[in-house]
Structure 1
Amino acid sequence: MAADSTAEFSVQQLLDTGTVAIRDIACRGECRHKSAEECPNSTHLVFPYRGVYVRHQGQDDAVAEANQVLFFNQGEAYRVSHPVEGGDASLDLVIGETFLQELAPKVQLREGGVLAFRRQRLRVDARTQALVALLRHSLVRGAAETLEAETLALTLVRRAMGERTSHAAGASQGRQKLVDRAKLVLSSDLARRWTLAEIAAEVGVSPVYLTQVFQQVEAMPLYRYQLRLRLARALDLLGEYGDLTALGLDLGFSSHSHFSSAFRQAYGRTPAEFQRSVHLR
């Protein structure tokens, strides 16, 4: 059950078995400065699907948005801030340690006795985003039985860390921070048709330098990254819109055909087909 609407957090337990626990966590995001320190008592895989926040771990910051999976290691303290208005929401998974050891590639884990991930985050591919939405919508609407939900969750974790389906940003700390500032600009208004010059001005560099650095760090062009954020928001909103043309236009697409084509290219089915597959309509 969700918490009081006046609370900063709303938490809905969607599944809890011996294999996996899944929660839907929403935050109002009203706290702009760094939060008080928190320390998880188990290892979490967190898939943001709406909005954006920043997780601070020592000197390392990670922008959490719908193109990422974040790893919260057991016993490692962190803080959170919300530089962009609008709040955020994430699907939170806790997998039994034995199963997680089997699922996680060795290269993603630290050496030693305690299971811990090397990085704060990985970028996930479009099909992983679709799995997040499929799992969440199915559980919220009671359309998935326990066995199916557990299987989907393990598939999601495997894909989120797969060699061909994930990407670890690689760059100096300065370049990573520059790219993260650009991500916050994009996330501040997903529907806006930003120009390269506008984004570059917001982060304080030339358009040419921004495109070069973004491509180097994320291994994808800035415009495609923005497209993926818009499409992930569409996955989130499909249960709330009967008029898919309106949804596409609200997210900045020029037409229904533009929206439907981009969605199908990313996720392998049209928005209407995805709605039907999880009984949203």
Structure 2
Amino acid sequence: MSQPRQWSRAVYEPDLRLESLQANFTTHTFARHWHTHYVIGMVEDGVQSFWCRRDTYTTPRGGLILLNPGEAHTGEAARSGGGFAYRALYPTAAHMASAMAEFGRPDAAPEFTKVRVDDVGMAEIVGRLHMALDASASLLERQSRWLGLLVALVRRFGAAPLRLPRAGDEPLAIARARAILEERYDQRLTLPEIAAQVGLSPYHLLRVFARATDLSPHAYLESIRIRHAQRLIAQGHDLASIAYAVGFSNQSHFTSRFRRVVGITPGRYQLSRRKTARS
């Protein structure tokens, strides 16, 4: 029986200035090494083994690996065989500073106390970020999920006790944020930009916005874009132009998000509108 194909791919996300790795390893063994950045690793399938802090750890499917800068470590498939599918994110000191700023400590470098974590909820957060990166989700979504992950990790697994500011109602800031999303739905909005305009920190905006609307800013924006797409479809515009007109980065992303919100593809929605108009 042949083993799964071994491959690896380095990815750079320019908007987030984030390096990452996607791989399926069977026989590859990482030599003992260290990084100047942090490592947030997740095993997607199989079982991985690594050495760090003078001990050996095993990482099953869904397991997380958290490494601080300068920590020597290795990595390979566990002795049980079969290889493992793996993803790693490489946050820089600047990334971590943006997360620590939410606690009022932008100059403090966080330190993870555990190198191996089994946490279903955190693994889901990591997985959703990878899905957003793979799907070329909106910049607002990618920034929101990235900052949300970093804040959650340093708060949960950092050595220093951290506390976020109390999340109040902030009605004026929420009203202004909603107005920005409504007025500029077709533009490439960023989380820091919106936060600055409403006078809140980026993560605090995410918290109070969700508290007020039960939606993240990017989900709220997505609903606005889909609403305008439905309007343009009803007016007879072609689908290819609609995707870009309402702010989606590509046709595929527009189609998948439209279906997720409306329940059918834009093409089927267009066809139903045409049938209704003829009847």
Shorter-normalised TM-score: what interval?
A: 0.3 to 0.5
Instruction: Normalising by structure 1, report the TM-score.
Output: 0.45
The structure whose RCO (Cα within 8 Å, separation 6+) is larger is 1
State TM-score, norm by structure 2.
0.45
